[in-house]
Structure formats: C-alpha cells, structure tokens
Amino acid sequence: MRRTFILGGAITPFIGKRHPDFVWEKHPDFGKRENPTLEDTITSAVLGALEATSCPADLVEKAWIGNFVGELFCGQGHLGAAVVGAHEGLRYKPVMRVEAACASGGLAVASAHESIQAGTDIALAVGAEVQTTASARTGGDYLARASHYRRQRAIDDFTFPALFARRVKALREKGLLTDEDLGRVSVKAYANANRNPLAHMRAVKMDLETAGSVNPKNAAFLSNAELQPYMKMSDCSQVSDGGAAALIVSEAGLRKLGRSPSDAIEITSLALCTGDLYRDGDPTRLETSATATARAYAAAGLKPADIDVAEVHDCFTVTELLMMEAAGFCDVGQSAAMVREGRTSLTGDKPINTGGGLVGFGHPVGASGVKQVLEIWRQMKGHCGDYQLAKRPSVGLTVNMGGDDKTVVAATFRNL
Ligand code: CAA
C-alpha cells in the first residue's frame, strides 16, 4: 500500500434558510442579491483548496467531484468540466463526477485514495450541492432518488425523513429511545454549530425544551399518519448549499509540494460498502455502516476505543445514535445513554460531529463526505477555532452514508 495523506483543503460556508447571509423571502436583502450558484460553489471550493494547500493547479493530476442531483436542483450536470472551469491550470486534466446519493463526497475521497494507491501523487476530491433552488417539499422528491424510488417514494412527500421516522418508531417500540434522547443529539449539534462560522445553523439556538418534544416551535411535519409522531423539524439535517475540496497526496506528492508529513494527516484505511437497493435490513441497526466501519478498523488495526474524534453521518438525529452503535462506540441500545452523559460533546471522551454535523453544520448532500474528512484534518491540525478540542486528536474516523444505509464510506485517520 502507498501511504495516502490529506494535506488540507477548503469548505465553503454551508448556507440555507435561517443562515444570516442566505437570501430568502424573510431576508432583508431579498430581491437585491443572489445566493451562490452550484458553479460558484464548485469554483470556491476548488480555488479555496488550492490556496489553502499552496498547490499550483497544474500539479493536480486527477480530480473527482461528488454531486448527487445537480441536474434536478440546478439544471446542471457534467460537473467534472465545472471543476476544470474553476482554474486554467486544470484544463485537460482527467476529472470525473461520482454519485452515490449522500455518499457522493465520500466516493470522491475513495476514488482519490484509490488513485493514489495506483500511482497518482496529487489528487483533488471535491463535493458540492446546491439545494435551495427548490422548496423543501420539492427537494424531498429529488432527494427521494436516493431511496428505491419506485417502491419507497410514496411513503411521504418527505421520503427520507419518513424512512428514518420508521427507524425511530422501531426503536421506540423496543423501548430503546425517547424524544428527549433525540432532542439531546439535536441540542449538541446546534451548540457545536453555534461555535462554527461555516455552519448553516451558526446563528440558530436550540434547547431541550424545544428539541425534546413536538411543540409549536418544533413541528411533526410528515403527512404519513403512522410515522408522523416520530420525526420533528429539530431531528433533520438541513437543506444546505455548500462545497468542500480536499487535496489527497502520496509521499512523493508531499515532496513535490515541498511539504512534510507533519503538515498532513494520513488515511490509515478506507472501506466502501454497498448494500442492496431493493431490500431493507433491521430498522434498529445500520448494517452496511457497521460492516464498512469494521472493515476500516480491521485494515488499520484499530478498535473503536482508539478513536479520538469522529464525523458520522447524522442525516437525522436517530442516524447519529445508530452510527455510534455501528461504529462500536457502545453496545446496541446504549448510544442514547452515551449522549445523555455528555460523552459525545466537545468536552466528552468521544467527541462526535464537533462542527455541528449534518444537523448543525448543514448537509449539502454531495459535499458532506468531503467536509467530514476535512473536519478531521481541521481538528487534528488545530484549525477549529471555538470548537477546537482541548487535546489534539491522534486517531479519527469518518462514516459517510448514501441512502438509507445503502452506500457507506468509512475511513480512519492518523495525525502526524
Ligand atoms: N406544523 C405542521 N407542519 C409544518 C409546520 C408546522 N408548524 N411548519 C412546517 N410544516 C410542514 C409544512 O407542510 C411544510 O411544507 P409546505 O410548506 O410545502 O406545506 C413542511 O413542513 C416544510 O416546511 P418548511 O418548508 O417551512 O420547512 P423548512 O424549509 O425549514 O424545511 C425540513 C424543514 C422539511 C425539515 C427540511 O430541513 C428537510 O427536508 N430536511 C431533511 C433534508 C433531507 O432529507 N436530506 C437528506 C438526508 S438523507 C441522507 O443523508 C441520505 C441520502 O442519500 C439522501
């Protein structure tokens, strides 16, 4: 195996409704200025990553871009060419778009990683999505393409919130979860996001009184009567616009850029697992995620107790709890207790989603997997400002999930 490093990169601000800079009908700038387009977002992420890593564009050998449904939200496909359009020096480089729903960004990282194994020295992994061009309800239909659309679309206008409400219902029926447990995950996500200038929810406060129940400030918004009680606004990841780009290099790549391993973190393992689109497993478990994480641990010779910081896919609050169990941070049924004890907060022994996760930082779906690995880099190198952990993490984990536990990219990292 060739050693593979992340030398840093850039995350654009994740914005959408309720973000102070995002223009929507309730914003004073409504009608006066426009939000960044998908093209702007890709350009910002690519140029930001080249600048942050002091990498001349012409030294990038290959690039990937993760994007889920640019055609539906923005009427734009063929995004490899949009990456090239960001900088003259990228002209005629091989750039490919990859797609696995919300794991599209993870797939871009996995592709860059594989390419380093195959001999590339400097690769760029980009992720981007702009989703605020449509209402949340129309966006629910677009995002439903990540499910088995023919079979699952009709469950609710908001297909994905409903699919995860089904998991909440199953856990509630087993007595493994309360609304307050989910509320605590949300309160932690928003509290972390409030410390993160890049986060979609950086200016929105969330308390347990609001997040811990259905109430006038926290609607149960599904129409499906059976599932409605099991999904609240505060449980959901955000409909965000944003991008991220990470420079992924070999040892020779580090040398070409005049950088040392101590500027980077190492990807110590990466596992990509794909489940069956047509069949769903136990709703109280994330089986594909557990398999991917176990493979990533085995390949790196790690165990769950070794992980100092983790970014796990929290498309809904229940997903973060199930991810903690899939990653082996606790026994099945024990994740809610871990959150209640504060163990996953910034001051806990197992900090999770320190910048706010998908619920607080936001979830521009194609960008999230790239953002996760950059968040580990930022924590390890001390770039997290107000949400920097007191002790620099040595070992990290990311788990990025597409669909309802269908495509999962799990990776482990070591600080150098
Ligand atoms: N009472 C009852 N219902 C209410 C309500 C209230 N007080 N307030 C709002 N609603 C209902 C309304 O029906 C409203 O829809 P309409 O306006 O069309 O009638 C609906 O809730 C949405 O309300 P808003 O548009 O005001 O809400 P919003 O824009 O703030 O969106 C959200 C909130 C619906 C929760 C939205 O943030 C959302 O959809 N989040 C989830 C995004 C998502 O699913 N992402 C993908 C995750 S899955 C994954 O990661 C894997 C993968 O591969 C896809």
For residue 146 and ligand 1, the question of a CB distance below 6 A is answered with yes
The alpha-helical segments, DSSP class H, found in 8-103 are: 38-52, 70-74, 79-84
Answer left, alpha or beta for residue 78, where phi above 0 means left and psi between -120 and 50 means alpha. Answer: left
CB 114 within 8 A of CB 120: no
pLDDT reading at 176 higher than 90 = yes
* Sole residue written with tokens 């986060």: 199
Query: What whole-number distance in Å separates Cα of residue 369 and Cα of residue 245?
Result: 10
Token pair, residue 71, equals 């055609």
> What are the E-state strand segments in 214-339?
242-249, 265-274, 309-312
pLDDT reading at 101 higher than 90 = yes
Q: Report the residue among 201, 239, 277, 319 best suited for mutation to probe ligand 1: largest number of ligand atoms under 8 A from its CB.
A: 239
CA atoms within 13 Å, Cβ hemisphere of 286: 37
- Closest by CA position to 14, among listed 371, 406, 390: 371
Distance 315 CA to ligand 1 centre (A): 13
Distance 138 CA to ligand 1 centre (A): 10
Indicate the pLDDT class of residue 26, thresholds 50, 70 and 90.
confident
Give, rounded to a whole angstrom, the gap between the first and last alpha carbons of the chain.
Answer: 18
- Closest by CA position to 71, among listed 13, 156, 145: 145
Atom 4 in ligand 1: which residue has the minimum CA distance?
221
Mean pLDDT of 307-336: 98
For residue 43 and ligand 1, the question of a CB distance below 6 A is answered with no
**Which atom of ligand 1 is least distant from the CA of 143?**
54
Chain-centre distance of CA 124, in angstroms? 17
Distant-in-sequence, close-in-space partners of 416: CB < 8 Å, separation ≥ 6: 5, 261, 262, 264, 265, 266
For residue 275 and ligand 1, the question of a CB distance below 6 A is answered with no
Distance 367 CA to ligand 1 centre (A): 20
Token pair, residue 245, equals 């780009």
Query: What whole-number distance in Å separates Cα of residue 413 and Cα of residue 311?
Result: 11
Distance 188 CA to ligand 1 centre (A): 20
**Neighbour-count burial of 217, counting CB atoms closer than 10 A to its CB (0-12 exposed, 13-18 middle, 19+ buried):** middle
Indicate the pLDDT class of residue 352, thresholds 50, 70 and 90.
very high
Chain-centre distance of CA 294, in angstroms? 19
Atom 12 in ligand 1: which residue has the minimum CA distance?
221
pLDDT in tens, 198-248: 999 999 999 999 999 999 999 999 999 999 999 999 999 999 999 999 999
Atom 15 in ligand 1: which residue has the minimum CA distance?
137
Distance 228 CA to ligand 1 centre (A): 12
Element (H, E) at 65: strand 62-66
Token pair, residue 294, equals 């176990």
Mean pLDDT of 304-314: 98
Distance 238 CA to ligand 1 centre (A): 9
CB 324 within 8 A of CB 352: yes
Token pair, residue 317, equals 């609050």
* 32 residue type, one letter: K
For residue 161 and ligand 1, the question of a CB distance below 6 A is answered with yes
CB 358 within 8 A of CB 237: yes
pLDDT of residue 1: 86
**Which atom of ligand 1 is least distant from the CA of 164?**
48
273: β partners = 408
CB 412 within 8 A of CB 406: no
3-state DSSP assignment of residue 12: coil
Element (H, E) at 109: helix 104-117
Token pair, residue 69, equals 């449904």
Count of CB atoms situated within 10 Å of the CB of 157: 18
Token pair, residue 285, equals 């478990």
pLDDT reading at 144 higher than 90 = yes
Domains of the chain: 4-133+240-261 (3.40.47.10), 158-235 (no CATH), 267-415 (3.40.47.10)
pLDDT reading at 43 higher than 90 = yes
Distance 61 CA to ligand 1 centre (A): 40
For residue 69 and ligand 1, the question of a CB distance below 6 A is answered with no
Distance 136 CA to ligand 1 centre (A): 5
Element (H, E) at 7: strand 5-11
9: β partners = 246
For residue 399 and ligand 1, the question of a CB distance below 6 A is answered with no
Measured CA to CA in angstroms, residue 285 lies from 57, 144, 166, 361 at distances of 43, 21, 12, 25
Distance 305 CA to ligand 1 centre (A): 36
pLDDT of residue 37: 98
Distance 68 CA to ligand 1 centre (A): 19
